[in-house]
Amino acid sequence: MKIRTVEYAGTIAKPGGPSPGTLPQIAFSGRSNVGKSSLINTLLRRTRNKIAHVSATPGKTQALNFYSVNDEFFLVDLPGYGFARVPVAIRDSWARLIEWYLGESGAVQGVVHLVDARHEPTEHDLTMVSYLAKLGLPTLVVLTKIDKLKRSERAESIRRAREALALDEAQLLPFSSKTGEGRNELLAALEELVKDRKVVE
């Protein structure tokens, strides 16, 4: 897949909000500070004119942000969860929004879930991957910031994530927003998801 056009398409801030269009939707989820905005910008070749806001303060994304890619699918940026400085009431509202979107909207084609390669998957990661499995949503786990690991640490990081999340190795993809490693593989995975097109009425 070659990225030709990327446009911000709209936002859903509350459960039940209308979708900005009928294209297939692929959601990107992950804990705050996992590098989601950087990954999205690298993936979409928007590192100079950023489309997903990269902030020094985690928790910046507070709604479902839709980006139309090549007029073929929506990349949907979900709020980052687990950020301690965000009030509990706001975290709870994000959780309700995410659960509605993934479980009830009927719009999601698949999910790319991000995990920091430097650390063990968190309880939040385990809960999310288990939830996605129960929903039957195709899920790819991307190990971000892989460039920060030594060669000897990479295999251990992949093994640790695979065992903790009970995934096949094919469901794990190392990624670096700094070097671009994993970008082509992730684009190919998205292309496969979009081929199995599910149009939202």
The enclosing domain of 134 has a CATH number of: 3.40.50.300
Give the residue from 53, 109, 51, 46 showing the smallest Cα distance to 80. 53
Alpha-carbon gap, residue 82 to 58, rounded angstroms: 10
Question: Which element (helix H / strand E) includes 194?
Answer: helix 183-195
Q: Could you tell me if residue 1 is inside a domain?
A: no
Q: What's the whole-number average pLDDT of the chain?
A: 85
Judged against a pLDDT cut of 60, whether residue 11 lies above it is answered with: yes
- Residue range(s) defining the domain that contains residue 92: 6-187+189-195
From 26-30, 73-77, 80-84, 134-138, the region with the lowest mean pLDDT: 80-84
Q: Are 112 and 126 in contact (CB under 8 A)?
A: no
Facing residues of 172 across strands?
141
Judged against a pLDDT cut of 80, whether residue 73 lies above it is answered with: yes
Facing residues of 144 across strands?
116
3-state class (DSSP) for residue 34: coil
Q: Could you tell me if residue 201 is inside a domain?
A: no
Backbone angles phi and psi of 73, in degrees to 5:
-155, 165
Q: Which residues contact 104 (CB under 8 A, 6 or more apart)?
A: 15
Facing residues of 112 across strands?
28, 140
User: Looking at the 3D structure of the chain, how many domains does it have?
Assistant: 1
Tell me the average pLDDT across 83-97: 64
> pTM for the full model?
0.87
Alpha-carbon gap, residue 12 to 101, rounded angstroms: 9
Judged against a pLDDT cut of 70, whether residue 16 lies above it is answered with: yes
Q: Could you tell me if residue 101 is inside a domain?
A: yes
3-state class (DSSP) for residue 80: coil
Q: What is the CA radius of gyration of the chain?
A: 16
Q: Give the per-residue pLDDT at 155.
A: 92
Give the residue from 26, 105, 13 showing the smallest Cα distance to 69. 26
Q: Could you tell me if residue 11 is inside a domain?
A: yes
Q: Is 112 exposed, middle or buried (0-12, 13-18, 19+ CB in 10 A)?
A: buried
- Note the pLDDT tens digit of each residue in 130-176: 999 999 999 999 999 999 999 889 999 999 999 999 998 889 999 99
